[in-house]
Structure 1
Amino acid sequence: MNDHLLNDDDVTLYGLFVEAYARIKPLVHHDLGIPDAWFEVLLRLGRTPGNQLRMTDLAEAVSFSSGGFTRLADRIEKEGLIRRAPDPGDRRAALAVLTEQGEHALHHALTAHVHQLRTHLTAALPADDREHLARILRTLRDACA
C-alpha cells in the first residue's frame, strides 16, 4: 500500500469532515419527534415562500430519487403533514404543500433541533469560526452543484 496516499492531507481532511458529521448528526437530530428525512422535507417547505415546492424540486433538494421521494411523500402526506396540489404553472407536475399540522410538527422539531445545534455545534465554535465554516460549506456545496 502506498503510504503517501494513505496519509494524504486531502484524505485526512475528508475523513475529519465525515467523522465530525457522523458524530454531530445524531446529536442535533435528537428529539425531533419525526424521522430525520421528514424533518428535511418539512424544513425545505417551511423555508420556501408559500410553503410549497414542486415534488421533483423537493426530491432533488433532499437528495432522493423521484421514486424514493414519492414513497417518502406518501408517508408524510398520510400523517397529514403535507398535501399534494396541482402545479398551476405545469399541469403535469404536482406541488408538495406544508399543512397546518406540518407547520406544528416543524415548529416542534425546529425547537429541539436549534437547541441541539447550539449545544453540540455552535457552542464549540467562536463566531468567526462559524462564519468561516459557513463560507467554506457554501463554497463546497456550490462547487459540487
Structure 2
Amino acid sequence: MRRQQLHDDDVTLYGLFVEAFSRLKPLVHRDLGVPDTWFEVLLRLGRTPGRRMRMTDLADAVAFSSGGFSRLADRIEKEGLIRREPDPDDRRAALAVLTSKGGEALDRALAAHVTHLRAHVTGILPPEDRGHLERILRTLRDANR
C-alpha cells in the first residue's frame, strides 16, 4: 500500500464527507411517518410547479434506476400518496402527481424533518458556513451530473 495515498488530504476530506452524511441521515430522517425514499419523492413533487413530474425525470432526481423507481412509485401510489397520469406532451410517458393525501403526508414529514435539520445541521453552523456549504454542495452536484 502506498502510505502517502492512505493519508492523502483528498481521501480524508471525502471520508469526512461520507462519515458526516452517514451520521446525519438517520438523525434528519427520523419520525417522518414515511420511508425516507418516499419522502424524497414527495418532496420533489411538492417543490415542483403543478406538483407533477415525468416519471423518468423524478427517477433521475431521486437517483433511482427507472426499474427500481417504478417499483418504488407502485408502493407510494398504492398508499394513495401519488397517482400516475398520462403525459399530455408525450403519450409514451407518464407523470407522477402528488395527491392531496401525499401533500398531507409531506407536510407532516417536513415538520419533523425541519426540526431535525435545525437541531443537527443548520442550527450548529454559523450563517457564513451555511452559505459556504450550500455553494460547495451545489458546485459538487452540478459538476457531476
Show the counterpart of 2:58.
58
Counterpart secondary structure, 1:24: helix
Distance 1:37 1:27 in 2: 15
Name the amino acid aligned to 1:56. T
Distance 1:50 1:123 in 2: 31
CA RMSD of aligned residues (A): 0.4
Distance 1:119 1:52 in 2: 31
Show the counterpart of 1:142.
142
Show the counterpart of 1:73.
73
TM-score of the aligned structures, taking structure 2 as reference length: 0.99
Aligned residues: 145
Show the counterpart of 2:41.
41
Distance 1:68 1:143 in 2: 25
Counterpart secondary structure, 1:119: helix
Deviation at 1:53, TM superposition (A): 0.1
Show the counterpart of 2:6.
6
Name the amino acid aligned to 1:45. L
Q: Percent same amino acid among aligned pairs?
A: 74
Show the counterpart of 2:116.
116
Deviation at 1:52, TM superposition (A): 0.2
Unmatched segments (≥5 aa) in structure 1: none
Name the amino acid aligned to 1:58. L
What does the per-residue CA deviation read over 1:23-79, in whole Å, with 9 as the maximum and x for residues that have no partner? 000000000000000000000000000000000000010000100000000000000
Unmatched segments (≥5 aa) in structure 2: none
Show the counterpart of 2:30.
30
Deviation at 1:89, TM superposition (A): 0.4
Deviation at 1:10, TM superposition (A): 0.2
Name the amino acid aligned to 1:57. D
